[in-house]
Structure formats: C-alpha cells, structure tokens
Amino acid sequence: MAVNLLEVVRLSKRFGGFVALDSIDLAVAPGERVGLIGPNGSGKSTLVDCLCGTLVNETGEVRFDGRDLAGLAAHQRTRLGLARSFQLPRPFASMTVADNLRIPLLYTVNARRKPALTEAEIGERCAELLTVVGLADRARHYPKDLTQVAMRKLELARAMAAEPKLLIADEAMAGLSNSEVNDIVALLIRLNERGITVILIEHIMRAVMNFSQRLVVLVSGRKIADGRPDEVIRDAEVERAYLGQ
C-alpha cells in the first residue's frame, strides 16, 4: 500500500466571517498528475497558500511525505520538497532572470545536500532550467523587461529549481498561445516522468484534460468532484457549477 505523498484532511480556512475553504480532503499519490479546476474565487489559490504555509488553516491537517506540516514555515515546506509557482508572477525584481533561479538553488537545494553546489554547478543548472522553459536568451534580462508570458515561465522555472517532489503550478499558462500551452504541458509531463508529482491548477480545459490523470473540482470552497477526468466533466454538479459558465 503506497503512502500518499500529500494528504489533506478536513482543511478549512476562514477570513473573518467568510469561509474560503470548507473541510477539504485531498490525497495525492507519488507520481500522480492531478488537475485542480474551479471558478474564480473558489479557493484554489487559498488552498495552495495553506498547503505551502503562506496562510495558516484553522482546522485540518496537511501531511507531506508522511510529515505533519503544522507549524512549519513556508521555506521549511519548500525544503521538504513542496514547491509552488504563484498565480500572479512574483519575480525578484532587482535580480536578473538567471539570478532568480539561483535563489532556490542556494537556499533550498543547498540546504538539503552536502557538499553544497559549486558556483559552476549553480551556473550550469540555471542555464539548463532556462533552456528547458525557453528563456535561455533572457538570462541576463531583468524581470521588468519580460513579457507576461516570459514571467510565467520564469515563475515555473523558479519552482522547478527547488527540485521539488511535488510541484504545484498555479495558472502557469494564462495568456500563453496554443503552442506555448502545449510546450508547458509537455514540460510538466516530462517532469512527471522524472518522478515529480504535479498538481496543475488551470482554467484552460484542453491543457487540464491532456495533462491530468485525476481531476479535482473546487467550487465556493468545497470539493465537489474528485476522480477520472472524463467522468468528472460529465458530472452534473460540475457542469452546473463550473463548465456551464
């Protein structure tokens, strides 16, 4: 019996009187490709924030790789192998694109291994990652000079640089062209083949359906469906609440 990589049990989050997440249960097995969809404001990003430690949930448990994450700061969770990209890109504006990738290498990867990566190795990995996402020619540029699309790629690359076991990609493809979407999906599948579990949060249904082995639907803070993609999209409640929009 495989131990789930991520186990979320009855997780709830309120903001004052507003219930953002209502008793969410979620289990993700190692190596899975999970898609998470739902209308805007349904709590997807709030869920990611709670998992990653940016927000603190009121009730419920989050277990990652067997460990209870309660009380752990975001950076500690990242070091354990849980990485995320932000829905609205948050690059380090005062550094070049390449240096942006240096940070997770210095602070996450190096924290896990002895001996630490050498300067040369860091440089190599930054270059590699940039090539993989298609930003190699932008290595010395600053985030303010990047297009929206390039910033999203940087956001993804930075999460990848942390060598996660579980990568949560939060709307990484918004605004991308069809071929770019395909590229990113292919990239995420390749990552997955290398052993990285991926949770993909997206609105682009084509990408979600192509990518996911399992589909989870969140509406108004509640999970209303969790199963095989082709079955989930035929579910009546899902159609009504989300797809019908």
Interacting residues toward other proteins by CB under 8 A: 52-55, 73-76, 78-79, 83-84, 86, 90-95, 99, 102-104, 106-108, 111, 158-159, 161-162
In the complex, least distance from residue 46 CB atom to other proteins, rounded to whole angstroms = 13
**Cβ-based nearer residue to other proteins, 61 or 145:** 145
In the complex, least distance from residue 104 CB atom to other proteins, rounded to whole angstroms = 4
**Cβ-based nearer residue to other proteins, 110 or 182:** 110
**Cβ-based nearer residue to other proteins, 162 or 238:** 162
**In whole angstroms, how far apart are CA 177 and each of 62, 139, 180, 221, 232?**
35, 22, 5, 30, 26
**Cβ-based nearer residue to other proteins, 103 or 174:** 103
**Cβ-based nearer residue to other proteins, 42 or 78:** 78
Which residues, 6 or more positions from 100, have their beta carbon under 8 angstroms from its beta carbon? 91, 92, 143, 154, 158
Q: Which residue has the tokens 């949560």?
A: 168
In the complex, least distance from residue 233 CB atom to other proteins, rounded to whole angstroms = 30
In the complex, least distance from residue 105 CB atom to other proteins, rounded to whole angstroms = 9
**Cβ-based nearer residue to other proteins, 197 or 212:** 197
CB-side neighbour CA atoms (13 Å) of 113: 12
Q: Identify the burial level of 60 via C-beta atoms within 10 angstroms of its C-beta, where 0-12 means exposed, 13-18 middle and 19 or more buried.
A: middle
In the complex, least distance from residue 112 CB atom to other proteins, rounded to whole angstroms = 9
Q: Which residue has the tokens 């790629």?
A: 153
Q: Encoding tokens for residue 223?
A: 């999970």
CA distance 147 to 137: 13
CA distance 92 to 103: 9
In the complex, least distance from residue 8 CB atom to other proteins, rounded to whole angstroms = 18
**Radius of gyration of the chain, Cα coordinates, nearest whole angstrom:** 18
